[in-house]
Every structure is written in structure tokens, then in C-alpha cells.
Amino acid sequence: MDPQAEPVNYICGDYGIKNTLEHSNVIQCRECGYCILYKKCTRRIVQYEAR
Ligand SMILES: [Zn+2]
């Protein structure tokens, strides 16, 4: 079991394309080959109902 095997979402720094990369992958956009990717915050949106 490798806890680091979870894919991480990145946003291409050039075109803003979403890339899903695993930790073992090279950090590079799969669409345009741009090497600067921003790590996307994968925080879930939590909604509270206020009554
Ligand atoms: Zn790109």
C-alpha cells in the first residue's frame, strides 16, 4: 500500500487545462507540454444549511 499513489489535480500554468497526475509522473501538462502546473486545491465544498 502506497499512500502517495493518489492522483493529484494540477492546473496548467499556460492554458489552465486540468491535469490529473500521479506522484510518480513528471510534472508537465499533458496537453501542451508546459512544465509549470499549479496544484489544485481538492478541498470539498461543504455546505451548511442555516435555518
Ligand atoms: Zn498545458
Task: State the CATH number of the domain containing residue 12.
Answer: 2.20.28.30
CA of residue 44 to ligand 1 center, whole Å: 24
Domain count of the chain? 1
Whole-number mean pLDDT of the chain? 83
CA of residue 37 to ligand 1 center, whole Å: 8
Residue 49 placed within a domain: no
3 state SS of 25? coil
Q: Which residue's entry shows cell 500554468?
A: 13
CA of residue 7 to ligand 1 center, whole Å: 17
CA distance 47 to 35: 35
Residue 50 placed within a domain: no
Residue 48 placed within a domain: no
- pLDDT tens for each residue of 13-33: 999 999 999 878 888 999 999
CA of residue 15 to ligand 1 center, whole Å: 5
Cβ–Cβ < 8 Å for 38, 49: no
Share above pLDDT 90 across residues of the chain, in percent, rounded to a whole number: 41
The amino acid sitting at 50 is: A
CA of residue 4 to ligand 1 center, whole Å: 24
Find the range with the poorest average confidence among 1-5, 11-15, 16-20, 38-42.
Answer: 1-5
CA angle 1, 40, 28 (to 5 degrees): 80
